[in-house]
Amino acid sequence: MKNTMKLSLTIDNIEVFLKPIKTGNDLASVSIIIGEEITIHGFRISKSQQIHPKFQEKIWIQPPKYRLGPFYKLLVFIHRKELYSELEEKIYDKFNQMKQRGGFDRIDEDVNPDDVTL
């Protein structure tokens, strides 16, 4: 018998926490807490070759996944597309807040060698 219980999960029930990653292709690791009950680690914000259609920036927000041969398997899948879209927005907003506060100094940013004093 299939359980048909529905959860009333909204974006207001989800908290987002970011930790900047100083080098490499990943920009930040993201954890979410759902309803003060469930924590999911492993979301990432990465550099992208493509401009994100919603945020108009070369980033990629990815849910947790693991490699399965030549493919990747998602560990978390949000069925309601509008909720996933809202979660992406919340993650992106936190990412921009972190950048504005100056908590996002990348080690691998483009640096002109002539500007560096030894």
Average pLDDT estimate for 89-114 = 74
Rounded to two decimals, the pTM is 0.80
Domains of the chain: 11-98 (3.30.1120)
Instruction: List the single range of 9-13, 20-24, 65-69 with lowest mean pLDDT.
Output: 20-24
d(CA 97, CA 117): 31
CB burial class (10 A; 0-12, 13-18, 19+) of residue 61? buried
d(CA 9, CA 89): 16
Average pLDDT estimate for 92-100 = 91
Which of the pair, 83 or 5, is modelled with greater confidence?
83
Query: Confidence class of residue 1 from pLDDT cuts 50, 70 and 90?
Result: low
